């Protein structure tokens, strides 16, 4: 198993894996409203490739705005591991590697919608005083500071990243 940057040629296989993991209705989830018309951060899109060169896991990160539009942050996900390879540590490997690359690239905050029971092992905490496109269970809205400063996620609404605001 090896981790690599996702390439354009991987897109079809990654999208198929995401459909397998989440179902084809996944694009109706609130988090997809933050992704509409915005590209994922290319250097943080990773795939786990098995010994047959097939993709067993994927992670992507999107830029978003936090603090009601004043600051940039990352939205972690989607992340998925093929059902036949779950529980082997591939998800944790993708997350740790993605977060490490994000930190080295200078990102400060990462947000996601997911199970606290899984993501707490990476340090993710529940968001307080932060809103996300509805309908989203606030208990599933999690954040992590990755720059070592100890700063809290800026309060306010989480929204779509706008090139006009952040270039």
Q: CB under 8 Å, gap of 24 or more: what pairs does 65-68 form?
A: 65/158, 65/159, 65/160, 65/161, 65/162, 65/165, 65/166, 66/109, 66/111, 66/130, 66/153, 66/154, 66/156, 66/158, 66/159, 67/154, 67/155, 67/156, 68/156, 68/157, 68/159
- Minimum CB–partner distance for residue 93 and ligand COA (Å): 7
C-alpha closest to that of 123 among 106, 146, 147: 146
Distance CA 123, CA 121 (A): 5
Total of chain residues touching ligand COA, rule CB under 6 A: 17
Q: Which is nearer to ligand COA, 26 or 69 (CB)?
A: 26
Closest distance between ligand COA and the C-beta of residue 110, in Å?
A: 13
**Among residues 81 and 146, whose Cβ is nearest to ligand COA?**
81
> Min. distance of Cβ 70 from ligand COA in angstroms?
26
Q: Report helix, strand or coil for 138.
A: helix
Token output for 16: 């198929």
How near is the Cβ of 164 to ligand COA at its closest, in Å?
Answer: 30
Q: Which is nearer to ligand COA, 67 or 114 (CB)?
A: 114
Least distance in angstroms from the C-beta of 149 to ligand COA: 26
**Contacts of ligand COA in 83-142 (CB under 6 A):** 86-92, 114-115, 117-118
**What is the C-alpha to C-alpha distance for residues 137 and 47, in angstroms, rounded to an integer?**
28
Q: Which is nearer to ligand COA, 53 or 117 (CB)?
A: 117
| Footprint on residues 28-87 left by ligand COA (CB under 6 A) | 77, 79-81, 86-87
Residue nearest to ligand COA (CB): 91
Residues that bind ligand COA (CB under 6 A): 21-22, 77, 79-81, 86-92, 114-115, 117-118
């Amino acid at each position: 198993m090896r981790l690599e940057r996702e390439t354009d040629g991987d897109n079809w296989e990654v999208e198929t894996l995401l459909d397998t993991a989440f179902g084809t209705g996944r694009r109706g989830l609130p988090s997809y409203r933050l992704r509409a018309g915005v590209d994922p951060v290319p250097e943080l899109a990773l795939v786990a490739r098995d010994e047959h060169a097939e993709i067993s896991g994927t992670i992507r990160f999107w830029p978003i705005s936090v603090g009601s539009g004043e600051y940039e942050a990352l939205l972690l996900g989607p992340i998925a591991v093929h059902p036949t390879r779950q529980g082997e540590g591939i998800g944790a490997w993708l997350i740790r590697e993605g977060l490490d690359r994000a930190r080295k690239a200078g990102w400060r905050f990462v947000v996601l919608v997911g199970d606290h029971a899984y993501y707490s092992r990476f340090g993710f905490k529940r968001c307080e005083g932060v809103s996300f496109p509805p309908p989203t269970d606030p208990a599933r809205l999690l954040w992590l500071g990755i720059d070592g400063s100890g700063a809290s996620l800026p309060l306010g609404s989480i929204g779509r990243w706008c090139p006009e605001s952040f270039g």
